[in-house]
Structure 1
């Protein structure tokens, strides 16, 4: 392997280093809002698929779909809460929320762990943007760093969700299509 000359002007990737440009654009804020909305839509679609199986009395498909929704939700919620328990710098709104058992149950049932993480990312992004507009570059840097950390947590949760929920559900849907097609079922595609 070639040695990198320390005098070289090549920028090396430092994973824990913030970028030089700490600006938050409207596009960044829009993308965060879109991520929140898309997660909620994804959860609604999952519930609709399960409901359609229940409605057409496809109980095995209904139960498997619910299991493939519930198990990842429990794991994601547990992981999110575990990360929160290790954090000292979380939003006050989030801290109050986590003390309410009824809201925790709703978070678990409705698979909202990533949404609360996205909410924190959005709050930190807005605070960073406002600090930059006010010329307070120290707070801009602080909030940008917090936003980046929260974003890494939500990315981790979404990655787990992908492998724990989306992949099994896709495999289940393919199997259902193949089984129903081979049996000539009158079951309408969901």
Structure 2
């Protein structure tokens, strides 16, 4: 594929944005409907947890979405005329939109509207540089959105999948709505991972050579297999004892503390940076990301050694402490998925980072926004695949 094709915001990309919006809405919709079902059945704790994860994802994405809009208003490079509006809206209007939880839909609307104008443009009046600038700005908008979707996936979809698996496996509470909720949570996680990787690949010059196709498939397999096996292991620990949730909280604290020690520099304010580090702690509870764009080979090895030990310990403990389950189809099946997913995920990890992961070119200024661009700084300082 030609480099110019890689950097073009195509009709397919525009249609995929609609698909991502559909998954986002349906994922939240099925979770809310499931919470209503639990409430009607008087399972109030499950109702609270199901809604809590939905609200956590919504709240955090709204906070960061508004903060990024605010940063874009203040950015001289983007707003050289000193306009106090974004997308034609004042700061007050943006606050109201985000308070009502539709900030991410505002971003979708702006991206789809702007993208439609670009992909349907038939005139050749633009120079090559102007065309590149236009498409690059679209990918920056898409990358901002994909970062928010990644937050939402790990704050809402991943915990939701863990919760519903626990309810189904431990309490034998099976319904079509539960399976729909889990299915769309899984699809939303997969979409968030791939979409972020592909948007990042097109929005930063130092990783524009990140190949698609097979590398994307291997990367997705690595992430989905390791995350799924991790979720299943956590589920078994919760079945063993609900107090295992304390252990998950400790893991979150460790991830947050490690992120704090790395002194991340993602946000424009200290308080928002603390929230960002707490969110990264949640993500690290389920999967590994390069938090600060540094060489993380040792950290990754330690992380996945611990990951493997958890995946071995969880089914072993359940079999040891719950002897009646030792030869049950349930435990054998789940253990098979855990071990199979772990092995396949780690094999894909090794394949990806040894053979398919691009070597980044550090120190290059962004060819459109320049070295001081807030949007480019934001993207560059976010999690790296």
Mean Cα deviation higher: 44-53 or 93-102: 93-102
Matches within 5 A, 1:26-65: 26-65=11-50
- Alpha-carbon distance in 1 for matches of 2:133, 2:113: 13
- Alpha-carbon distance in 2 for matches of 1:158, 1:75: 11
- Alpha-carbon distance in 1 for matches of 2:97, 2:66: 13
How far 1:168 sits from its partner (Å)?
0.8
Q: Which has the higher contact order (CA 8 A, sep 6+)?
A: 1
User: CA-atom RMSD, angstroms?
Assistant: 2.5
C-alpha spacing 1:128/1:140, structure 2 compared with 1 (3 Å): farther
- Structure 1 runs of 4+ with >4 Å offset: none
**Corresponding position of 2:108:** 118
Equivalenced residues, count: 161
The answer to whether structure 1 residue 149 and structure 2 residue 140 are counterparts is: yes
The answer to whether structure 1 residue 20 and structure 2 residue 14 are counterparts is: no
**Corresponding position of 2:98:** 104
- Alpha-carbon distance in 2 for matches of 1:35, 1:97: 27
How far 1:95 sits from its partner (Å)?
4.5
Contact 2:66 2:98 in 1 (8 A): no
- Alpha-carbon distance in 1 for matches of 2:86, 2:26: 24
How far 1:173 sits from its partner (Å)?
0.5
C-alpha spacing 1:97/1:38, structure 2 compared with 1 (3 Å): farther
TM-score (norm 1): 0.72
C-alpha spacing 1:156/1:149, structure 2 compared with 1 (3 Å): same
User: Unmatched 5+ residue regions in structure 2?
Assistant: 80-84, 178-385
**Corresponding position of 2:187:** none
Matches within 5 A, 1:67-82: 67-82=52-67
C-alpha spacing 1:93/1:87, structure 2 compared with 1 (3 Å): closer
